[in-house]
Amino acid sequence: MSLYRTARTPLIIVMAVCAWCLLQPGYAAEPTAAPQATASPERHLKNIRQLTFGRQNAEAYFSFDGAKLIFQSTNNWMKDSFAATLKPAEEGLGCYQMYVMDLESKTIRLVSTGTGATTCGYFFPGDRRVLYSSTYASGPNCPPKPKREGSYRWALDDYDLYAVRIDGQEMQRLTATPGYDAEATISPDGKTIVWTSVKDGDLDLYAMNLDGTKPRRLTDEVGYDGGAFFSPDSTRIVYRASHPTDPAEVSRYKELLGQRLVEPGQLEIFVMKADGSDKRQITANGASNFSPFFHPDGKRIIFSSNVETRGEGGRPSFHLFLIGDDGKGLERITVEGHFNSFPMFSPDGKRLVWVSDRLSKSPGEFNVFLADWIP
């Protein structure tokens, strides 16, 4: 998905899609857990564990039983490698591939094809198949990165959605329209996929059945809508969006869209019903707010933002925040590192997984972290 989710990840520094291009290769070899201060300012996080080491590891999401993670990585992990003991290959990958990690054994298994770029992985109900987006049908090489001309730009490469067994076999293509189809997730009740597509000429959210049938459009405002996740009861969707209203901004957005580019500098968090009705804006701070996920209580949302840190040291700094679904009660969750994003609560609500550059040994490195969640 991108930096923000990508595109998925995530979908601003790494955003999606879902694809977050401010990352550069690096390898961190030794630490197995983040040191805990006696009185940590990250009071909701306890027993923090680092699960990956080196280069770029992003968008880690729990299986339905909470025993596995699917994540994307530029590390060239060998099949059935062990994250806790095996150093990744010296040569990293040019773009993300998709992996599944067993949290008990720390075994890592490649589930994508190893060609093209992949982003935005997610488990199907039963945890025997996974969903992800890939460009491999367009060619075996990594898509070229867009030139940096002022504002950060994210490329809308020709991704499609695929379903595959966790051993990488029996691949099924779920979308086949030209352009960007990514940032896909599945409802907790296991019935619906939501994803972002340009199939109708704009970046909008769509829903469909698990087999790819009955696609329906959920958003129709001019601008980007993406990075969607369902509420615990599957009745609502939280997502990030940027809807330009000034004619010059709309024209600029459409011009970039025609070049398969988007500038996601300002994103706000929205919530709507699962059928696309009753859309409500949750944040309105003009910052880059992305990778939202519902708190287990269904009344709050955790997300990444630079709302309090845009001026820190002259570099962007993203941290996790909680906010009520009424837009009130903003609370900062992380303080360590300069990039914390892609949070997801475990199905039982007792753990949080996210991506961070804390403890990194090289510029542009970030890894997957897991912590016990303290209410």
Q: What is the pLDDT of residues 13-69, one digit of tens each?
A: 334 333 333 232 222 333 344 444 345 789 999 999 999 998 999 999 999 999 999
The rounded distance, in Å, linking the Cα atoms of 57 and 75 is: 8
pLDDT of 148 > 90? The answer is: no
Residue 310 confidence class, pLDDT cut points 50, 70, 90: low
pLDDT of 201 > 60? The answer is: yes
| Contacts with 364 (C-beta within 8 Å, 6 or more apart), sequence order | 22, 23, 24, 25, 26, 56
How large a percentage of the chain has pLDDT more than 90?
A: 74
| 261: nearest Cα among 206, 198, 317 | 198
For the segment 118-133, the average pLDDT, to the nearest whole number, is: 97
Residue 137 backbone dihedrals phi, psi, to 5 degrees: -70, -20
pLDDT of 150 > 80? The answer is: no
| 120: nearest Cα among 215, 45, 176, 197 | 197
Mean per-residue pLDDT of the chain: 87
The rounded distance, in Å, linking the Cα atoms of 155 and 117 is: 12
Q: So what's the pLDDT on residue 7?
A: 41
Q: What is the pLDDT of residues 245-291, one digit of tens each?
A: 999 999 999 999 999 999 888 999 999 999 999 999 999 999 999 99
Q: So what's the pLDDT on residue 92?
A: 55
Q: So what's the pLDDT on residue 91?
A: 54
Residue 290 backbone dihedrals phi, psi, to 5 degrees: -155, 180
Q: So what's the pLDDT on residue 151?
A: 75
Helix, strand, coil shares, percent, the chain, to 5: 5, 40, 55
Higher pLDDT, 144 or 90: 144
Residue 270 backbone dihedrals phi, psi, to 5 degrees: -125, 160
Residue 138: Cβ within 10 Å count = 15
Q: So what's the pLDDT on residue 15?
A: 40
Q: Which CATH class is domain 25-373?
A: mainly beta
3-state secondary structure of 364: coil
3-state secondary structure of 138: helix
Beta bridge partners of 70: 61, 100
Q: What is the pLDDT of residues 74-122, one digit of tens each?
A: 987 665 555 544 445 455 568 999 999 999 998 999 999 999 999 999 9
| 324: nearest Cα among 294, 345, 350 | 294
Q: List the 351-356 sheet strands across, edge first.
A: 45-50, 367-373, 351-356, 340-345
Residue 178 confidence class, pLDDT cut points 50, 70, 90: very high
Q: So what's the pLDDT on residue 299?
A: 97
Which residue matches tokens 């199907």?
Answer: 124
pTM, 2 dp: 0.87
Q: So what's the pLDDT on residue 206?
A: 98
Residue 364 confidence class, pLDDT cut points 50, 70, 90: confident
Least confident of 83-97, 206-220, 314-328: 83-97
For the segment 123-142, the average pLDDT, to the nearest whole number, is: 95
Q: So what's the pLDDT on residue 14?
A: 38
